[in-house]
Amino acid sequence: MTLQAIRPSHFPWFRYDGYSFSLGLTHGDDAWLSGHSASEYDPESGRIVVRGGMTDQARTAYAKIGAILDAAGLSFADVTRVTENVTVAGLDVYQEAAAVRAEIFGEHRPAVSTVIVDRLLRPAAFIEIEVHASAGGAAAAAGGVTEAPDGTIFLPTVLPLDERGDVVAEGDLTGQYAYCLEQADRLLRGVGSSLDAAVTTYDYTTPATRDVYRRTHAVRKERLGGAGVYPGAGGILMSRLHRPGVLVALDVTASRHPLEAVNPGWARYETLTYTPGVKAGGMLWMSGFAALDMETQQALHPGDVVAQAEVTYEAILRVLDAAGAGPEHLLSTIEYVCPEGLSAYRGVADVRKRLLREPWPASTGAICAGLLRPEFLIEVFPAAVLP
């Protein structure tokens, strides 16, 4: 079973050929879509533009998604997870996008992940939306959890909020992190699973927590890896999260399948609470990667986002190779770039074209406030299918 690029016969927003990403990919009955915003080609200016407020932008993004799903023989009823990347500038009117989503999906309830980003690559964009879909849709459970037919379990974004909606452990990153992991475990146990089945834990914190972030290691060591395999992980810094007082937001994905760690031989992971890659069924879930020398732990090519992207994608390819896969099996990439790397970020497309293969992975790009190592300018969250 191979990956196939989704190519709508009618896609009026822009010409989608020539990029180093696909609008979306299918793998059997599943579809993984790139992030889509309200960007569209304006013939008068000859440029890609973004128009309207949050409501209009959400409608345009979902119209694109609908066209891509239709080209794959799917519909909104088949969507299992929605990820809405919302900018800090759009956060105060995010309820407008939520209303559009509710209108489009009706009684259908996919898991919803909300990632607050500093900006999107189109400066006027407030929201960029990714979806995963599978023929027949997902089995919904309490708490916004969904399970895809292949045994992948998607959780909604977990926040350190109690039953009343109040922030717990105010000012305490490790306390909030522990609470989020406990809540994720509770949600998974509600569907007969647990945190032991987690394949990825991606967290979003703020620059103010960078100096104390290492303390989350003890929390993760206590609560994760119970089945002998730590999940893939990534950490991104955003200048603001979902509401005041929230210091971390956690996105967790789990699987019904037995987990197998994938490590190309990097000794550094022997003491960490995350794994380069995790095989689960027909999927390879991976940690976030940046331009790190795996032997010396030194950040490479400071100040050069293109050179850092090359090191990053080479590391991803090594994990793919260790899993028996290649660049043609790369399913999705999420690129987080720091403001300091934006001026040269276009050059990353050339790196992707040189190192990756068609069909290009579904991809999303967003601007963050920073990364856990201040020398890093880009971090990539990848996922792949297994041959």
pLDDT tens digit string along 121-163? 999 999 999 999 999 998 878 899 999 999 999 999 999 999 9
- Of the CA atoms within 13 Å of residue 9, those in its CB half-sphere come to 2
Q: Fill in the amino acid letter for 311.
A: V
Q: Is the pLDDT of residue 224 over 90?
A: yes
User: Got the DSSP string for 342-375?
Assistant: GGGGGGHHHHHHHH--SSPPEEEEEE-SEESSTT
- HSE of 243 in the Cβ direction (CA atoms, 13 Å)? 10
φ, ψ for residue 385, nearest 5 deg: -100, 155
Q: Which of 145, 59, 133, 121 is nearest to 96 (CA)?
A: 59
Please say if the pLDDT value at position 1 is more than 80: no
Q: Which residue reads 């990347």 in tokens?
A: 85
Check residue 140 and give its pLDDT.
Answer: 79
pLDDT over 70 for what percent of the chain? 100
| Torsional class of 13: left (φ above 0), alpha (ψ -120 to 50), beta (otherwise) | alpha
- Structure confidence by residue, pLDDT tens digits, 270-299: 999 999 999 999 999 999 999 999 999 999
Q: For the residues 83-93, what does the mean pLDDT come to?
A: 98
- In this structure, are residues 129 and 32 in contact, taking their beta carbons and an 8 Å threshold? no
19 pLDDT more than 90: yes
Neighbour-count burial of 93, counting CB atoms closer than 10 A to its CB (0-12 exposed, 13-18 middle, 19+ buried): middle
With tokens 């940690």, the residue in question is: 287
Q: How far apart are CA 263 and CA 39, in angstroms?
A: 38
Whether the model clears a pTM of 0.95, i.e. scores above it, the answer is: yes
Mean pLDDT, rounded, of the chain: 97
Nearest of 328, 387, 366, 378 to residue 130 by alpha carbon:
366
Residue 253 near residue 147 (C-beta atoms within 8 A): no
Element at 41 (helix H, strand E): strand 39-42
Do 294 and 315 touch, CB atoms closer than 8 A? yes
